[in-house]
Structure formats: C-alpha cells, structure tokens
Amino acid sequence: MKDTFRHQVVEELKASLHNAFTDQRKGPAPGLKDRLKTAVAGKLLAKMITKDAAAYFMERSIHTLAVYNDRLETLYGMLADDESKHLMVKLMAYRIMGRDKVRLPLYGDHYKKMVERSKDCFDRSDAVEVNYPGGARKIYRTRVHKAGFPIEGYFSGVVAQFFVEQYNYHDKIKAEAGDVVLDCGACFGDSSLYFAHLVGDHGKVVAFEFIPNNIEVFQRNLNMNPTLEPTIDLCPNPLWNEAGKAMYYKDRGPASQVQFEKFEGHDGQTETTTIDRVVADKQLPKVDFIKMDIEGAEPYALQGAEQTIRTHRPKLAIATYHSMDDFVNIPIWINNLQLGYRFYMKHATTHLEETVIFAVPESR
C-alpha cells in the first residue's frame, strides 16, 4: 500500500497542508520590510488553517485521484528511478494545492544562482519585439556562454533551456554527436541551436515552426550563429496526425491562437503535416531524438509519428504539462507501443510549466 502513488500523494498533501510559502510569486523582489511582513503572515497563516481549507484540498485531491487514479498508478509504476517518482508526487501535490503549499524539487539556492547567472547573459540595449495577446513584448539579445554554449540570439526561457537543460536527463538521455533531431515546436530557435551544438557537423536538426512572427525571430537567430545554421532545416508546418488539413491561426508569437475552423480575427492559414510524412519526404536515414512542445497537440503529433518511432526507436523528450490528460496519457501511449522504452520525468522550472517525459529504448 505504501508503494502506491495514491499513498505517496496523500502523505505529501498531509505534510504540505500547513505550509504558507510566500516567496514563489512572480514580480519585483520585495524589500526587507515586505519580506518581514510576509514571513510573519506566513507563520500566522500556517497556524490558522481551518477545517474548511483542509476539506477543500481534500475534495480537490479526491476528485483528481478518482478521475486519473488507474492511469496515475500505471505511470508511477512505469518510471524507472526514484527521482522521477518523487517528482511526479510533488507535481501532483502542486497541481492540487498550488505554489503557496508546495515547493517543487528545483527550488533552492542552486536554481537561484542559475537565475542570477542568466541575468548576465542579456544585452538590454538590443531587443526585438514579439507578438503576444496583450501586445508586443521585447525579447533581448542573449549570449549563453555562461551556461557553456557558444550561442547567441533573441531568446525566452533561457534558464530552462540552457542552464537547467530541460531536454537532457542527467546525460543519460540527450541529443548526441551525429544525431538526427526533430525539434517539434522550435519557436525562436533556441532549442534548435542548442541541439545543433550538441549534434555537431555530422548531425542534423529538423525544426518545426509555423507562426510567421516566430519564424522571423528564428531566422534572425540562425543568422547570428553561422557555424550552427547549416545543421538546421526548418519545416514551416504544424504537426498533427494527418497531413494536408487546413489550420487557421492568429499570430501572437508563442501564445498564438490556432483552430481548424475559420474564426474571427484569424490572420493566417496553413496546412498540417506529420512526422512520418516529413521523415519520408526528406529521406532521413535515421531519427535519433524527438523533442516535442507544441501546446497540447503532442498526442496527435505522436500519432502522426508512430511509424517513425517504431522504425527508428528514437529517444523522446515530450512536454506533458499542458493538461492532466497529457500528463498521464502521453507516456502510457508510448509504453503501449511495446517498444521497450524506459521512462523518466524532469521539470525545468519552479512553477507548473515545463514538465518533460523522457523515454529511451532498452536497445536500438
């Protein structure tokens, strides 16, 4: 019983119930006076947890576990190391109770030092404007040499991509020299350049990105890295489980709106493709690594990659944080292919985003 996921989560919820963390919120760093106030408030809140609050968290946990219990237990049993299992428990507790109650494993001095080091990477005198729903935002020119990569460009998510290395699991599962990598959801090209650096001159990166504003920044970033640019090949189509399907979008950069039917305010149209189609059209002799973060379309893109996965059995790094369904269903779908994959989990932030399920075959 103690080895079950349900038991571990319940114990984590019980241990977290009286926490009152006040230092995980985004925004300007508080001054000493504010920090003292929040520290006192946190202690008072911890002592004032009511039965109603406890009942609220219990109701949320019962609902979540009731809906997903069997699949959560299956996923927990699939994970190949204790670190991944511990992370899964923490992530579920965080989803149920939130940041004021649960700290994710990455939180701590080491992560804070990475954040501080990343600040030295930005050139705030040089920026490009990127579309977002609330209007244009500036993305500053960034040199990530302090993270060990001779790469520069206009990037977002520098800490997760280059310092935490969200697509590298303890050097056991990563892109390696000579690999062919599919970078699904390339956005501004930071991940594509990261992979190009790892695979080297004898490797190849096929990057998938279809939003025009993202591609504009992507191309600028490639031009700024002339030694890596020849390794990267851009495919400007969205991935799905079938090719040739019309898709409409409103260009808002990384937060673009996408639908299969025309909608008010849409400003562009494209067609879907599949990984299997692209691999065939480009006559790729092998596929070694697939990274995928495409805003909830991962299950469908994986269906469109089934033949590639069966044939080449690539290493996989798939985002699963967009929904609870993705969190449990994506790894189970991969496992049901019965290709002998081992599974690991990584989370590259101290908030809810950037959970990646890693899958590596026993042999290739």
Q: Are residues 91 and 174 in the same domain?
A: no
* pLDDT (0 to 100) of residue 57: 58
Q: Residues 87-108: pLDDT tens digits?
A: 999 999 999 888 889 999 999 9
Confidence (pLDDT) at 359: 99
Q: How confident is the model at residue 364 (pLDDT cuts 50, 70, 90)?
A: low
Residue 52 has pLDDT above 60, yes or no: no
Q: Are 47 and 17 in contact (CB under 8 A)?
A: no
Residue 311 has pLDDT above 80, yes or no: yes
Tokens for 312, please give them: 């080449």
Higher pLDDT, 126 or 136: 126
pLDDT at 254: 87
Q: Is the pLDDT of residue 357 over 50?
A: yes
What share of the chain in percent tops pLDDT 90?
Answer: 77
Residues 177 and 71 in one domain: no
The pLDDT score that the predictor gives to residue 253 is 86
Tell me the average pLDDT across 283-304: 98
Q: Pick the last residue of a domain from 51, 69, 97.
A: 97
pLDDT digits (tens, 9 = 90+) for 62-88: 677 778 999 999 999 999 999 999 999
Residues 80 and 166 in one domain: no
Quick: pLDDT tens for 154-177.
Answer: 998 999 999 999 999 999 999 999
Residue 78 in domain: yes
- 292 and 217 part of one domain: yes
Q: Is the Cα dihedral 108, 111, 117, 121 positive or negative?
A: negative
Question: Each residue of 335-351: pLDDT tens digit?
Answer: 999 999 999 999 999 99
Query: Given the structure tokens 């495919």, which residue do they identify?
Result: 235
Whether 336 is in a domain gets the answer: no
Residue 318 has pLDDT above 90, yes or no: yes
Q: Is residue 88 part of a domain?
A: yes
Check whether residue 62 and residue 175 sit in a common domain: no
User: What is the model's pLDDT at position 28?
Assistant: 44
Is the Cα torsion angle 243, 247, 251, 255 positive or negative in sign?
Answer: negative
The per-residue pLDDT for 239 is: 99
pLDDT surpassing 70 at residue 29: no
pLDDT at 136: 87
State the pLDDT at residue 326: 97
Show the domain range for 260. Answer: 161-319
The answer to whether residue 363 is domain-embedded is: no
* Whether residue 178 sits in one domain with residue 73: no
Q: How far apart are CA 271 and CA 332, in angstroms?
A: 28
Residue 74 lies in a domain: yes
Residue 348 forms part of a structural domain: no
Give the end of a domain, one of 47, 77, 97. 97
Instruction: Tell me what pLDDT residue 255 has.
Output: 85
Q: Kindly report the CA angle at 323 between 322 and 325, in degrees rounded to 5?
A: 135
Q: Would you place residue 49 in the very low, low, confident or very high pLDDT band (cuts 50, 70, 90)?
A: very low
**Residue 27, Cβ density class (10 Å: 0-12 exposed, 13-18 middle, ≥19 buried):** exposed
Residue 165 sits in the same domain as residue 314: yes
| Torsion 92-332-344-325 (CA) sign | negative
211 shares a domain with 292: yes
Same domain, 181 and 305: yes
Residue 342 lies in a domain: no
Residue 147 covered by a domain: no
Amino acid, res. 46: A
In whole angstroms, give the CA distance from residue 237 to residue 104.
35
**Do 171 and 277 fall within a single domain?**
yes
pLDDT at 54: 55
- 301 with 182, same domain: the answer is yes
Q: Does residue 232 register a pLDDT over 80?
A: yes
Number of domains in the chain: 2
Q: What is the CATH number of the domain that holds 183?
A: 3.40.50.150
52 or 328, higher pLDDT: 328
Whose CA is closest to 105, among 125, 118, 91? Answer: 91
More reliable by pLDDT, 57 or 226:
226
pLDDT computed for residue 269 by the predictor? 97
Evaluate if residue 268 carries a pLDDT over 50.
Answer: yes
**What are the φ and ψ backbone dihedral angles of 172, each rounded to 5 degrees?**
-85, -35
Shared domain for 257 and 172, answered yes or no, is: yes
- Single out the residue in 319, 337, 359 at which a domain terminates: 319
